[in-house]
Amino acid sequence: MSLSYAFIGLLVIFFIIFPVSADLKVHFLDVNEGDAVLLQADGKNMLIDAGTANSGNLTKYYLHSLGITTLDQVLLTSPEEGKSGALTNILNTTPTREYFDGGWNVSDGSYRDVLTMIDEENISHTTVRKGNEVPFAEGVNISIISSEPDGNTGAETLIPLITYGNIRFLLMGKEQTVPGNVSAQILRVADHGSRQGTDPGFVMNVHPDIAIVSSGDGNPDGNPNQNTLNILQTVGAKFMRTDIDGTITISTDGTIYSVGNLRMEPEITLSLVSVVETRAPV
């Protein structure tokens, strides 16, 4: 059985057995030590980052398994390879209506390949900065709350805060903190859960219910770091990691949310793991 067909069959089982009445679904994709998040709402699909070049087929097959043949928006939060590496693969096979990024001045690498394809395909290209909002679906607010220099490229990393009703998702990049008092039920942990990427005071302020880290299996940096896990445990957050839990899906109607996950097995088949819990906001 091909990877794409395995995705399709098992995802159908997932949604039939565990129907969730939700207006917004947020998928944290299992793309090894990279980042890729899919938003679905009001019949629209938005991809935030795409993962590394090596994970391009994983991202592409996941989109196609959900029947996604067109992306309404793509937001790239950093030119680094862990976020932009797979994007040309995605854009080459999935028509995209609008593309947003930080307008970085980077002379080479996967980001330049993305810009070339955006130009060749005549995709609408908008530069966003701190304080801007990225349009998506009605009722879903995606605001850029900060943009800090990335440690590898020196370019500013966009940090999206996604709000739907009373539920908020904060997608950190490599930076430890953002200015101001920001709280969110779901936190994507900074820098793949590294020790230097997690600030105790900031995590206490955000006070997440669910903390998600994109981590590669057997990655050389040893992420997530045990100190990071301890910090998250201190604030009472349930910690989930893509290298163990697989793709993590949060479904919400703006008042409550449910958490599920799907994992790839060594035989490259996808299996349903669980629907973890349903929570209302604090």
Q: Is the pLDDT of residue 276 over 90?
A: no
Residue 2: band (very low, low, confident or very high) from pLDDT cuts 50, 70, 90: very low
Give per-residue pLDDT as tens, 188-203. Answer: 987 655 556 677 788 8
Is 183 part of a structural domain of the chain? Answer: yes
Is 33 part of a structural domain of the chain? Answer: yes
CA dist 12 and 205 (Å) reads 38
Q: Is the pLDDT of residue 267 over 90?
A: no
pLDDT at position 263 is 65
Task: Please choose, from the candidates 205, 202, 207, the residue with its C-alpha nearest in 3D space to the C-alpha of residue 190.
Answer: 202
pLDDT at position 173 is 79
Q: Nearest 5°: phi and psi at 273? A: -100, -60
Domain span at residue 110 reads 3-274
Give per-residue pLDDT as tens, 94-144. Answer: 999 999 999 998 877 899 999 999 999 999 999 999 999 999 999 999 999
Percentage of the chain modeled with pLDDT above 70: 75
Is 157 part of a structural domain of the chain? Answer: yes
* 31-40, 130-139, 258-267: least confident range: 258-267
Q: Is the pLDDT of residue 256 over 80?
A: yes
Residue 268: band (very low, low, confident or very high) from pLDDT cuts 50, 70, 90: very low
Q: Nearest 5°: phi and psi at 179? A: -70, 155
Is 85 part of a structural domain of the chain? Answer: yes
Is 279 part of a structural domain of the chain? Answer: no
pLDDT at position 154 is 58
The whole-model pTM stands at 0.84
Is 281 part of a structural domain of the chain? Answer: no
Burial bucket for residue 126 (CB in 10 Å: 0-12, 13-18, 19+): middle
CA dist 207 and 185 (Å) reads 7
Mean pLDDT of 167-175: 88
Residue 79: band (very low, low, confident or very high) from pLDDT cuts 50, 70, 90: very high
pLDDT at position 264 is 54
Mean pLDDT of 255-265: 81
Token pair recorded at residue 241: 């990691």
* 20-24, 90-94, 241-245: least confident range: 20-24
Mean pLDDT of 221-231: 67
Is 82 part of a structural domain of the chain? Answer: yes
CATH number at residue 116: 3.60.15.10
C-alpha Rg value of the chain to the nearest Å: 17
Domains: count for the chain: 1
Residue 270: band (very low, low, confident or very high) from pLDDT cuts 50, 70, 90: very low
> Which three-class secondary structure string do you get for the chain?
CCHHHHHHHHHHHHHHHCCCCCCEEEEECCCCCCCCEEEEECCEEEEECCCCHHHHHHHHHHHHHCCCCCEEEEECCCCCHHHHCCHHHHHHHCCEEEEEECCCCCCCCHHHHHHHHHHHCCCEEEECCCCCECCCCCCEEEEEEEEEECCCCCCEEEEEEEEECCEEEEECCCCCCCCCCCCCCEEECHHHHCHHHCCHHHHHHHCCCEEEECCCCCCCCCCCCHHHHHHHHHCCCEEEEHHHHCEEEEEECCCCEEEEEEEECCCCCEEEEEEEEEECCC
Is 280 part of a structural domain of the chain? Answer: no
CA dist 96 and 20 (Å) reads 27
Q: Which residue has the higher pLDDT, 32 or 142?
A: 142
pLDDT at position 106 is 84
- Name the average pLDDT for the chain: 80
Q: Please tell me the number of Cα atoms within 13 Å of 95 on its side-chain side.
A: 4
Q: Is the pLDDT of residue 73 over 70?
A: yes
